[in-house]
Amino acid sequence: MDVLTTPAAMQDWSRAHRAEGRRVGVVPTMGALHHGHVALVDAVRRCADVTVVTIFVNPLQFNLDADFDSYPRPIDDDLDRCRDAGVDAVYAPTAAAMYPPGFQTHVEPGDLAERLEGPMRPGHFRGVVTVVAKLLAATRADVAAFGRKDFQQLAIIRRMVSDLDLDVEILGVPIVREHDGLAMSSRNARLTTPDRAAAVVVSQALGRAERSFRAGERDAGALRSTAVDHLSAEPRASVEYVEVVDADTLDPVTRVATPAHIAAAAWFGDVRLIDNVLLDEQ
């Protein structure tokens, strides 16, 4: 497995593979890799000839310095996990290589970035799409995978790829969960033991709303209340939002007539968790 640390080295690597007719698949991550990331690698490997995992804790997308500073960076474990998963190259640039002095160009997302996570995390999605554009360019990706855990991010990236005519296929990969239902996240490692036990309420709350939907409930307010009631009953959880939004536009809906997501964000101590479930007739 190759490890590359500069955009130029990454581009050379991918250019050589593409010249041999190989499709380059890319999994952008911030490291602290878990089974969710491995699912993205598996998805990419099924439709690419060589697979690159990018590991970069992107300062542009963090709202709080403390969150950026405390973000886990177990690079040796991550490299082992990539090797085990059959990854061909890891692209792990430094912040200085990504944002050298004089850097000043950003990608500006539109309305999709104003919903859900947007108001809570000003500038977050601008940072995400800027770094994803750079990572896709450096890796010369033919295909790239993103998790549905961050379904808003996935929607914004699909939009960017379409709007900017980027020649890359985007895969959306289902959420990988712990045995009790908690969506896997690099941030879960920072939960205290009691908060980790309590955090299961997030997926439980969304699961209750989903069951209610399957039983015929279509009123978004009722579905939302089902989830909020369950979350609010857990004293360790501080709920930031629970929303029911259209799956395409991410606009809030009053009735679920077309595919929608019920999405939640909640704090446990100083750890912020997000999760969502697709509400679809099929």
CA distances from 203 to 45, 199, 207, 228 (A): 29, 8, 6, 12
Please give the residues from 144 up to 163 whose contact with ligand AMP meets the rule CB under 6 A.
146-147, 149-150
Regarding 40 and contact with ligand AMP (CB under 6 A), the answer is yes
Regarding 220 and contact with ligand AMP (CB under 6 A), the answer is no
For 153, residues 6+ apart whose C-beta sits below 8 A from its C-beta are: 125, 128, 146
Regarding 173 and contact with ligand AMP (CB under 6 A), the answer is yes
Task: Tell me the two tokens of residue 208.
Answer: 């209750």
Task: Tell me the two tokens of residue 241.
Answer: 């939002």
7, 25, 36, 93: residue in contact with ligand AMP (rule CB under 6 A): 36
For residue 11, the minimal CB distance to ligand AMP (Å) is: 22
- List 37, 124, 230, 261, catalytic entry: 37
Of 102-110, 170-178, 245-253, 266-274: span binding ligand AMP (CB under 6 A): 170-178
Regarding 184 and contact with ligand AMP (CB under 6 A), the answer is yes
CB of 66 closer than 8 Å to CB of 105 = no
Residue 45 CB coordination number (10 Å): 18
Regarding 274 and contact with ligand AMP (CB under 6 A), the answer is no
| 124 belongs to the catalytic site | no
Residue 101 CB coordination number (10 Å): 5
Q: To the nearest 10°, report the CA torsion of 99, 104, 110, 111.
A: 80
For residue 279, the minimal CB distance to ligand AMP (Å) is: 18
Angle at which helix 151-163 crosses helix 124-139, to 10 degrees, equals 60
Interface positions with ligand AMP (CB under 6 A): 29-30, 36-37, 39-40, 146-147, 149-150, 173, 175-176, 183-186
Positions annotated as catalytic residues are 37
